[in-house]
Amino acid sequence: AIVERLGHKTKIVDPYLLDEYATKGLNMNLYDTIIEEFKPDIIGFGGIATSYGRAKEFSLHFNQRYPEIIQIAGGPLASVYELLLTHTKVDAVIHGEGEISLPILLGRFEHKKTIHDVPGISYLMDGKVVRNSPAEQVKNLDENPLPDYHLIDITQYLQNIQDWFNQFARSLHGHKLVD
């Protein structure tokens, strides 16, 4: 919602919801098609800390194919910021609430200005990880926009949990976890 509020087009891709991912595993051609159709300037990664391996795989591939695209990460995934910055091609990691840091960071990227003083981010400088001072906390959470649910098919997240477990198990092991 913040990105859209700033006037940018956005797209959310959840690999775990793509039918092709569930049946065939990771297929970078699928993501290349999405990137070539949408033509993003920036790709963002989110997830939990255990998403690091998948973020690394995506980041290295995207950088090889699309080196001009800036890559950022945030959310709980930011807890592994040193790994992200030293072992992937992520350009910046946002810590804490992105509502403060993200607009500043996007503005700097848009105008090709330095990010060295953007609060609440980490980045590499001369091969070393730099973590800036924290961003201010949002004082009034009601000022944050609600998530833009029109960017996702929310019904995909509301399916029967048993069906989800079975789909997940089949994608990993070829059998059901729950009967």
Identify the pLDDT of residue 2: 84
Q: Which residues of the chain have pLDDT under 50?
A: none
Cα distance between residue 101 and residue 54, in whole Å: 24
Identify the pLDDT of residue 88: 97
Would you call 99 exposed, middle or buried from its count of C-beta atoms within 10 A (0-12, 13-18, 19+)?
Answer: buried
Q: Give which of 97, 4, 90 is closest to 43, Cα–Cα.
A: 90
Identify the pLDDT of residue 20: 58
Identify the pLDDT of residue 23: 56
Identify the pLDDT of residue 26: 67
Identify the pLDDT of residue 152: 76
Identify the pLDDT of residue 18: 65
Cα distance between residue 52 and residue 87, in whole Å: 10
